[in-house]
Structure 1
Amino acid sequence: MLKGIRRRTIGSYAFLFLVFIALSFLKSLGIVDMLTVLLGSFWATVVMAWLTNRRLITPVEQITLVAQEMAGGILDTEIRVKGEEELDDLAWSINYMARELRKNLFVITEERNRARAILNSMADGVIALDKYGRVILINPVVEGIFKIKEEEWAGNQLIKVIRNHELEEHFIRALNSMQPVLNNELQVLTPEPRLFRVHISPLKGSHEERMGVVGLLTDVTERRKLERMRSEFVANVSHELRTPLTSINGFVETLLDGAIEDPTLAKNFLEIINAEGKRLANLIDDLLKLSRLEDRRTKLNKQPVDLAEVINNTVKMFEARATDKNIELTTALPQEMLPVPGDQGFLSQVLVNLVDNAIKYTLPGGKVGIEVTYSQEEVTVAVSDTGIGIPPESLPRVFERFYRVDKARSRDMGGTGLGLSISKHIIEAHGGKIRAESDQEGSTFSFTLPLHD
């Protein structure tokens, strides 16, 4: 192509030279004068310059301009020139290259978007480092967990992004050895303590060259918490079942050994066996009820519930007990109470559990109050007492199964240790929330229910 352009350029200069020689020869013969020679040479030069500009310089400028745009990332413009055949070939080649680049760029963009969509939809955190240990990728899960933005992690060392030396050591070890670091669990402040299982794999190039590492962070905090709760639940169930059974077996053996011959002693033992049997039956009933609630097997019979009726019935149920303990049991209800969609039987059980606990743990001369407040979308029922209170460290766990703040005292007062857990599941099944607050002046258990399904 360049040879053709070079030949045409040399030909143009040769043509001008021949024109000048021809005019000079005519002048030597006296046919033309010097002015005609100069004018002829000038116009021949002008014509050749115009032809060169039209057929060579302008197309080259257009090709150069479009090539610069392509270098800047604009691949949609195509070269359309009418020049020398070689320049037409060059323009076609550049246009073909631009089309191929567009295709490749589209494929690369699709792959990048697909990879980004996969990373964004992952439930686990992903961190990638280059071969120098600098962060090159963090997915939104990690950004959300550690409250960081892209401008804070891009190109920085991992320790500056996530200030955990143990995590950094795992990544550096995988980077230096280019061997996987698998299933390591470590605790990270996020800012709350959370437990992660870390799986780190090396990134290798086509010739086994070191390119970096990528780590997968799986949050196992809730899983470990559930495992702990399950273990505690099994231990607590075993203990709660064994206690009444041990008592029953002991008294039965005593009766069989001859105590049955003493009517007074036998009656006393049988009353204890009867009480322990009822306690055991209540425990099993509560366990079954809790199991059904957790498995969503219990269907709510939702109807408009009159909370005033539920509260008044509960107060009547506990008036005698409150009077015996010299506890003032009061209510604070709005004059107009809207009906609440729910299962009246279950909601009555929640209120009975809360009032029962309040009276149990309130000393003689104290107060227990039930208050109802309405907002635009929900109703709140609060049961407050002036009892012994709950330590701050125990508040987050009071709704766990079998959790007791004072185990010995709670067991002496009766109950299965499942009432609050059952209440929590009932309220959540109604789409509401239950919470506990406590200080030195007593405790308040309250639950909210939506006014509309």
Structure 2
Amino acid sequence: MKKPFIIFYALIIYAVSELVWWGYMLMKLQPQRIGMILGEGSMFILILVVGAYSLHASINKERKLQEQKRNFLLSVTHELKSPLASIKILLQTIQKRSLTKEQVLDFVSKSLLDVERLDDMVENMLLASKIDNRSYTFPKNSFNLSVLVDSIVNRLQITKCDCNQQIIDAEIEPKIEITGDKFALTSVVTNLIENAVKYSSPCSAVAVKLFSKDDKVYLEVADQGIGIADNEKTRIFDKFYRVGSEDTRNTKGTGLGLYIVKEVLDKHQASIKVRDNRPAGSVFEVVFG
């Protein structure tokens, strides 16, 4: 992209230089019209510079979007290959080896976890697509948010801690009822908790809190992970946006999770903000009401 920009600005500089030269020549030939020549020339140069800057910003924005889409395709490919490879190995082991019933059940359980991971990713992509083309209507009904959050925590909970697992600590106030789209809000809670687990250190706790206060409902998800730089806090909710490059990033993800979270919460007149955790990590706070 550098070469087209160099050519573009070389042409702009050439055009401005020619304009200045011809303006100088006109003022020499018609000194009585110096005011008019300077006024019209200045206005033309101003329009030219503003147009060039706007075009540059537009091209640069498109370039960044294309880069984010490239990263998205790379991450989706990795996200699909990893669980599919795991499921394939587990099923082939069941098929080719003589295993005990307990071993078979363990392998089947691990396969189902990978299937759930794939299902979450597909649901995210479908929901993001529907949000983009405005085909999703967000049907709202009253439901128990406490039960929903508890079920998601139990599904994502790690019962034992080893080198690749985290522990989710939940404090859920019972019988909290809200009106909203249960399917979309399930995606919100799932994305927030999975995001916290993803960026946490092995075996570090992820805290999930749900409570009501002053006629408002609060959902907090806190991790002790790598944290988020201040200049990134407003950009993490952009579609496809992820810190760094897919070529160097080790964490899993497609860059759609927090985008979906923000879009869904906007449709529910709910707010979300992120702040630094202490001593390390991030806290995502959602407020309904």
Q: TM-score category by the smaller chain?
A: 0.5 to 0.7
Distance 1:224 1:438, change over 3 A: farther
Q: In structure 2, what is the equivalent of residue 236 of structure 1? A: 68
> Structure 1 residue 286: deviation in Å?
3.9
Q: In structure 2, what is the equivalent of residue 357 of structure 1? A: 195
Q: In structure 2, what is the equivalent of residue 334 of structure 1? A: 173
Give, in whole Å, the separation in 1 of the partners of 2:209 and 2:119: 33
Larger Rg: 1
Q: In structure 2, what is the equivalent of residue 442 of structure 1? A: 281
Q: Per the alignment, in what secondary structure is the counterpart of residue 434 of structure 1? A: strand
> Structure 1 residue 336: deviation in Å?
5.3
Q: In structure 2, what is the equivalent of residue 393 of structure 1? A: 231
Tell me if 1:183 matches 2:22.
Answer: no
> Structure 1 residue 351: deviation in Å?
0.7
> Structure 1 residue 352: deviation in Å?
0.7
Give, in whole Å, the separation in 2 of the partners of 1:331 and 1:353: 16
Give, in whole Å, the separation in 1 of the partners of 2:238 and 2:218: 22
CA contact (8 A) 2:158 2:166 kept: no
Give, in whole Å, the separation in 2 of the partners of 1:295 and 1:320: 36
Q: In structure 2, what is the equivalent of residue 427 of structure 1? A: 265
Q: Per the alignment, in what secondary structure is the counterpart of residue 397 of structure 1? A: coil
Q: In structure 2, what is the equivalent of residue 89 of structure 1? A: none
Equivalent position amino acid for 1:429 in 2:
K
Using structure 1 for the length normalisation, give the TM-score.
Answer: 0.41
Using structure 2 for the length normalisation, give the TM-score.
Answer: 0.61
Q: In structure 2, what is the equivalent of residue 317 of structure 1? A: 155
Show CA shifts across 1:89-135 (max 9, x none). xxxxxxxxxxxxxxxxxxxxxxxxxxxxxxxxxxxxxxxxxxxxxxx
Tell me if 1:371 matches 2:209.
Answer: yes
Give, in whole Å, the separation in 1 of the partners of 2:275 and 2:35: 47
Distance 1:441 1:287, change over 3 A: same
Distance 1:175 1:294, change over 3 A: farther
Q: Per the alignment, in what secondary structure is the counterpart of residue 399 of structure 1? A: coil
Over the matched positions of the two proteins, sequence identity in percent amounts to 24
Say which is worse superposed, 435-444 or 279-288, in terms of deviation: 279-288
> Structure 1 residue 414: deviation in Å?
2.5
Equivalenced residues, count: 222
Q: Per the alignment, in what secondary structure is the counterpart of residue 201 of structure 2? A: coil
CA contact (8 A) 1:399 1:421 kept: yes
Show CA shifts across 1:27-86 (max 9, x none). xxxxxxxxxxxxxxxxxxxxxxxxxxxxxxxxxxxxxxxxxxxxxxxxxxxxxxxxxxxx
> Structure 1 residue 334: deviation in Å?
3.3
Give, in whole Å, the separation in 2 of the partners of 1:359 and 1:418: 16
Distance 1:398 1:306, change over 3 A: same
Alignment root-mean-square deviation, CA: 4.3
Tell me if 1:301 matches 2:139.
Answer: yes
> Structure 1 residue 383: deviation in Å?
0.3
> Structure 1 residue 349: deviation in Å?
0.9
Distance 1:323 1:279, change over 3 A: closer
Higher relative contact order (CA 8 A, sep 6+): 2
Give, in whole Å, the separation in 2 of the partners of 1:279 and 1:330: 21
Equivalent position amino acid for 1:236 in 2:
Q
CA contact (8 A) 1:282 1:416 kept: no
> Structure 1 residue 444: deviation in Å?
0.7
Distance 1:237 1:280, change over 3 A: farther
